[in-house]
Amino acid sequence: MTGQSDAGGGRSNRQGKRRRKRRRKRRCKRCRLDDLECGECARIEDVDRECLRSMGVRPGKTVEVHTKHPFGGPVVVSVGRSTVSLSRSQARDLEVATEE
């Protein structure tokens, strides 16, 4: 035997282990940047175009939609401290995740 027993003055499992905080699992909805409405924020998941990466639009960054111009016009977003104007086709290529 190992010599460990609960009756002989050893700590029970409840006293010996620290309680861990339970984190609420966040549910994320994946969509395209073009699907977001004005004022919504999301986290960038995937960038297909190299030109977007050079503008600072990279995976893991938070993006906020400021305006969506009508008739297929550009989408104005902020990424970090920068404000970027994207065409609708570029906005369709960006995959983002929003918290529900």
Report if residue 42 sits inside a domain.
Answer: yes
Mean pLDDT for each 10-residue chunk of the chain (100 residues)? 56 57 63 92 89 90 94 93 93 87
CATH no. for residue 64? Answer: 2.30.30.90
What is the token pair recorded at 63? 């993006």
**Whole-structure pTM value:** 0.67
d(CA 63, CA 2): 57
Residue 69, domain extent? 28-99
d(CA 49, CA 33): 14
The answer as to whether 23 is a domain residue is no
Question: What pLDDT score was predicted for residue 99?
Answer: 77
Q: Say what the pLDDT of residue 78 is.
A: 95
